[in-house]
């Protein structure tokens, strides 16, 4: 039991660390403009370095990561990101920041694929699997929330261009090193994976197996679901500060601070879902969440329209819409980990790494697409109207969940996560 808890704790720390690194992109884009005299367009490419490295690594590595070993992959990632973070304060520059995010994306892809695949080694029942997945994703959102405050602590408000903000990477390097040693001493039995994978002939066959997964009806419905979910989540998360500033007329600092409420709501939602999924049908719970999310959009946007346009500089003066809309995080929170758990629980262990690779790829594509589309809508129709368009993928998700449940029930649910409605 003790060894199992060290493995779980290591996975939690890994996710907490990479949540802060990956979701610091907004803060870093702002800081490189101040510190390195980089224009807005040039600074925006940092997002691409992160997302593309995640997608490419997941697609190329996910098919044969079982040959490398999950534990080895995670240990390598933690050591590499620790070294990279340690070097950043000594080699300040825009090029080094871009390199950092490329390395971060590469390492996170290895960690996420390995984590998703190895959960089945200690969570054999679907209910247990779904519950742990929700706790893991909740820790990720806690990391996102913590990152807002951690990075802001190192920024010099009197001289925003001061490179002192890079010192935050010393702390992150230390955290990565701690996670490395914790995982190093934690026994992770991968023999079940090795036994199922003995029939694999080559890496090429494994890679082809990953591609053919996409042709399975269950997997096809799943990847569309993941794409739509992340499209909704990332479009709101990336553009909520801009919405607060342009539509609700908040000051810049308050716009960022109040956007952190979305991360907090998502973390709480996933923690609660971790318990709820042990007792409630996943299909009923996720549909209720989607209808509630749509309801919040329809409730909050008219509230935003009624704001009188006066400048808002404090939490106490913020309009009600600023508090209501971030609650959508509570509603969207259970969907991603629950459907991930269902698809992984429906596949044999030897396919988990390849499936986890597809999860990360389509998550990255959905996030990038959502952010770009919402940005264009903000420019063309305005912020309030842009968020109304989130209702389209939400409706698409309701349809996908129905098809997904049909496919899961047709395949059978031997591991115990209830599909009864």
**What crossing angle do the helices spanning 2-22 and 94-118 adopt, rounded to 10°?**
150
Most confident of 14-28, 42-56, 63-77: 14-28
Residue 181 lies in a domain: yes
Residue 421 lies in a domain: no
Where is pLDDT greater, at 24 or 128? Answer: 24
Where is pLDDT greater, at 341 or 67? Answer: 341
What is the model's pLDDT at position 420? Answer: 44
CA 48 to chain centre: 15
Q: How many CB atoms lie within 10 A of CB 353?
A: 27
Least confident of 21-25, 85-89, 153-157, 295-299: 153-157
What is the model's pLDDT at position 63? Answer: 60
- Under a CB-based contact definition with an 8 Å cutoff, are residues 393 and 228 in contact? yes
User: Where does the pLDDT of residue 209 fall: very low under 50, low under 70, confident under 90, or very high at 90 and above?
Assistant: low
User: Where does the pLDDT of residue 114 fall: very low under 50, low under 70, confident under 90, or very high at 90 and above?
Assistant: confident
Distance CA 323, CA 304 (A): 11
Distance CA 134, CA 138 (A): 6
What is the model's pLDDT at position 82? Answer: 97
Percent of the chain whose predicted confidence (pLDDT) is above 70: 85
pTM above 0.85, yes or no: no
3-state SS, one letter per residue, for 348-392: CHHHHHHHHHHHHHHHHHHHHHHHHHHHHHHHHCCHHHHHHCCHH
Residue 416 lies in a domain: no
What is the model's pLDDT at position 192? Answer: 61
**pLDDT averaged over every residue in the chain:** 81
pLDDT at 278 > cutoff 60: yes
Phi, psi of 250 (to 5 degrees): -85, 160
Distance CA 332, CA 230 (A): 10
Residue 138 lies in a domain: yes
Least confident of 85-89, 181-185, 267-271, 388-392: 267-271
The label of the residue with tokens 């390195």 reads: 36
Distance CA 19, CA 27 (A): 13
pLDDT at 395 > cutoff 90: yes
Percent of the chain whose predicted confidence (pLDDT) is above 90: 28
Q: How many CB atoms lie within 10 A of CB 215?
A: 8
For 23-93, where are the alpha helices, taking DSSP H only? 25-36, 40-43, 45-61, 65-68, 70-87
pLDDT at 284 > cutoff 80: yes
**Average of per-residue pLDDT across 300-310:** 87
What is the model's pLDDT at position 367? Answer: 78
Phi, psi of 232 (to 5 degrees): -65, -50
**Collapsing DSSP states into helix, strand and coil, what is residue 213?**
helix
Residue 419 lies in a domain: no
For residue 330, what are the domain limits? 2-411
* Number of separate domains in the chain: 1
User: Where does the pLDDT of residue 64 fall: very low under 50, low under 70, confident under 90, or very high at 90 and above?
Assistant: low
Residue 420 lies in a domain: no
Single out the residue of 8, 109, 3, 128 nearest to residue 53, CA to CA.
109
What is the model's pLDDT at position 40? Answer: 53
pLDDT at 342 > cutoff 50: yes
Question: What radius of gyration do the chain's Cα atoms show?
Answer: 21
Q: What is the CATH number of the domain that holds 165?
A: 1.20.1250.20
Single out the residue of 19, 20, 27, 18 nearest to residue 46, CA to CA.
27
Least confident of 190-199, 225-234, 330-339: 190-199
Residue 72 lies in a domain: yes
Most confident of 119-133, 209-223, 284-298: 284-298
What is the model's pLDDT at position 28? Answer: 78
Length of the chain: 421
Where is pLDDT greater, at 39 or 359? Answer: 359
Distance CA 209, CA 199 (A): 13
Residue 239 lies in a domain: yes
């Amino acid at each position: 039991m003790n060894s199992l808890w060290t493995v779980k704790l290591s996975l939690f720390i890994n996710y907490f660390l990479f949540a802060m690194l990956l979701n610091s992109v907004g803060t870093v884009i702002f800081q490189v403009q101040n510190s390195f005299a980089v224009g807005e367009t040039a600074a925006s490419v940092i997002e691409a370095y992160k997302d593309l490295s995640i997608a490419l690594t997941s697609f190329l590595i996910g098919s044969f990561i079982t040959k490398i070993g999950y534990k080895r992959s995670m240990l390598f990632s933690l050591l590499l990101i620790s070294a990279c973070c340690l070097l950043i304060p000594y080699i300040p520059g825009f090029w080094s920041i871009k390199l950092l995010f490329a390395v971060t994306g590469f390492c996170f892809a290895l960690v996420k694929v390995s984590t998703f695949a190895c959960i089945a080694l200690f969570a054999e029942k679907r209910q247990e699997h779904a519950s742990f997945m929700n706790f893991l994703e909740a820790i990720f959102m806690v990391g996102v929330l913590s990152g807002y405050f951690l990075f802001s602590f190192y920024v010099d408000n009197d001289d925003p261009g001061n490179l002192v903000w890079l010192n935050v990477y010393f702390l992150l390097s230390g955290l990565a090193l701690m996670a490395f040693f914790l995982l190093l001493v934690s026994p992770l039995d991968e023999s079940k994976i090795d036994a199922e994978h003995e029939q694999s002939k080559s890496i090429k066959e494994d890679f082809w197996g990953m591609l053919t997964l996409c042709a399975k009806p269950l997997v096809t419905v799943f990847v569309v679901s993941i794409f739509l979910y992340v499209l909704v989540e990332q479009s709101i998360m990336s553009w909520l500060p801009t919405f607060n500033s342009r539509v609700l007329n908040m000051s810049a600092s308050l716009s960022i601070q109040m956007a952190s409420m979305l991360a907090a709501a998502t973390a709480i939602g996933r923690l609660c879902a971790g318990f709820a999924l042990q007792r409630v049908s996943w299909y009923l719970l996720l549909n209720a969440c989607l209808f509630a999310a749509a309801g919040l959009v329809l409730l909050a946007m008219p509230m935003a329209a009624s704001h009188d346009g006066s400048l808002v500089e404090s939490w106490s003066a913020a309009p009600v819409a600023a508090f209501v809309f971030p609650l959508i995080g509570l509603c969207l929170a259970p969907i991603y980990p629950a459907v991930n758990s269902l698809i992984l629980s429906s596949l044999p262990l030897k396919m988990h790494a390849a499936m986890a690779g597809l999860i990360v790829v389509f998550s990255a594509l959905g996030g990038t697409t959502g952010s770009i589309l919402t940005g264009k809508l903000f420019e063309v129709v305005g912020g309030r109207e842009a968020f109304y368009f989130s209702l389209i993928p939400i409706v698409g998700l309701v349809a996908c969940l129905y098809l997904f449940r049909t496919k899961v029930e047709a395949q059978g649910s031997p591991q115990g996560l209830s599909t009864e409605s």
